[in-house]
Amino acid sequence: MTDLRSDRTLAEGHEQALVPPSRSESPRTRIWVQHVAVETDKLQMRVDAARARGNLTPAQETIAGGVCGFIKKARAAAFRDDPIPGRWANWWRGTLVEAAYRNMHTARAQMIDLYEKEELRAEIPMVVARANATMHRDDPRCITIPDLEAEPVECLRPRMRRVVGDTYENLDLKHSQLRSFRNILLIAATFIALGVIATLVFVSENPHLMPLCFPKQVISSTDPALTIVTGMACPTSSGSQASPSSADILVVAVLGALGGALAATLSIRNLKGTSTPYDVPVALAFLKVPLGALTAILGLIAIQGNFVPGLSVLDSQGQILAYALVLGFAQQTLSRALDKRAQTLLEGLPGGTATEPTPPGSGKLVRPTKP
């Protein structure tokens, strides 16, 4: 409870370090591991100080032992001692980050029961600030400082423990949801890329099965209602001798991918709200590039088949290439919903606009009756 930012933003912003480290590489070189190490040392020091006072009840002593157990598990996960997942499985599932931070968050919540009265009162502002920064402004669990300061110690301790536990649980769920969203984007990008590659290979070997050429037509000088075909316009050639070739679909796919990359750059620029754990904008970019190549290919086929009213013939090679680029960029109309979903998830994290604090004195929570 020492920082209003998400604890895991430090970890997940550097999570790419989890992907390729070898077994011989020391896990202590990773930034998030240092954060967990420092925070667990502080928690252990607070437990030792509480025990040194010599006034812990048997119930508090049991809680102190449990907190030490959670601290040990958090450090074991951070230092890759337990569990020991595979490199890629750990990057995909976030096993170490999840284990380390969930155990550390549980230890922090249970530490409330070991505080003295003065320490408990001193924690009120930070508990309120973290709860209001983590939860939505309309969440009924949001509290204010006067709400807690008015409570007697007998009610304050369990209430603060519950608020802290709910805050960290909500934060853990949001980060898990963000990780799942990133994985879905990467899976979709992989399948689309494989489909585009398979199409490129097949059509390159059989260019006449999916020709991306258009007939070049001119109006007859003697009869304006008559058009004369003077040749073909293809992505890689133009003129009377032009014909479908293996390189046509490759050129169209490359230009579509460039259009998708441009759209990805613009969408990343517009993402706001907080830092970007799990590299969600990068996952979106990986999706938009192969999706741009796919829309360029399918768009030219749709134009060739008179699917677009009023647009059936592209007269020159330059027009075909320009349309391939524009169609690749046009995939943004399909992926815009994904951009909005990513923005919503990012804004729900601490620092995002969806977690603006409620005005003081909202009184949303009903105070428990005094014992």
Residue with the larger pLDDT of the pair 139 and 206 = 206
Residue 364 pLDDT? 46
Query: Does 33 score more than 50 pLDDT?
Result: yes
Token digits for 300?
């030219």
Angle at 190 between CA 187 and CA 193, to 5 degrees: 150
How high is the mean pLDDT of the chain?
Answer: 79
Residue 329 pLDDT? 92
Residue with the larger pLDDT of the pair 143 and 168 = 168
Residues of the chain with pLDDT > 90, as a percent, come to: 28
For the chain, how big is the Rg over CA atoms in Å? 30
Residue 41 pLDDT? 94
Residues of the chain with pLDDT > 70, as a percent, come to: 77
Show the DSSP H helices in the chain as ranges: 7-12, 31-53, 58-78, 87-93, 95-110, 117-122, 124-134, 145-149, 153-205, 247-270, 280-304, 317-329, 332-347
Rounded CA separation 26/129 (Å): 36
Q: Up-side HSE of residue 366: CA atoms within 13 Å toward CB?
A: 2
Q: What is the rounded average pLDDT of the residues 124-137?
A: 81
Residue 73 pLDDT? 94
Give the residue extent of every domain in the chain: 7-183, 184-347
Q: Could you read off the pLDDT of 244-282 as tens digits, one per residue?
A: 888 899 999 999 999 999 988 887 776 654 454 577 878
Query: Does 318 score more than 90 pLDDT?
Result: no
Residue 219 pLDDT? 55
Residue 1 pLDDT? 46
Are the C-beta atoms of residues 104 and 36 closer than 8 Å to each other?
A: yes
Please, which pLDDT band fits residue 335 given cuts at 50, 70 and 90?
confident
Q: Up-side HSE of residue 37: CA atoms within 13 Å toward CB?
A: 11
Residue 139 pLDDT? 75
Residue 283 pLDDT? 85
Characterize 20-35 residue by residue with b for buried, 16 or more Cβ atoms within 10 angstroms of its Cβ, and e for exposed.
ebeeeeebeebebbeb
Residue 7 pLDDT? 56
Residue 352 pLDDT? 52
Q: Could you read off the pLDDT of 214-234 as tens digits, one per residue?
A: 887 655 555 555 555 567 888
Residue 227 pLDDT? 56
Residue with the larger pLDDT of the pair 3 and 287 = 287
Query: Does 350 score more than 60 pLDDT?
Result: no
Q: Could you read off the pLDDT of 296-315 as tens digits, one per residue?
A: 999 998 888 777 666 666 77
Rounded CA separation 172/167 (Å): 9
Q: How many CB atoms lie within 10 A of CB 82?
A: 12
Residue 255 pLDDT? 94
Residue 230 pLDDT? 64
Rounded CA separation 207/112 (Å): 70
Query: Does 179 score more than 50 pLDDT?
Result: yes
Q: Could you read off the pLDDT of 34-81 as tens digits, one per residue?
A: 889 999 999 999 999 999 998 899 999 999 999 999 999 999 998 988
Burial status of residue 185 (CB atoms within 10 A of its CB: 0-12, 13-18, 19 or more): buried
Residue 14 pLDDT? 44
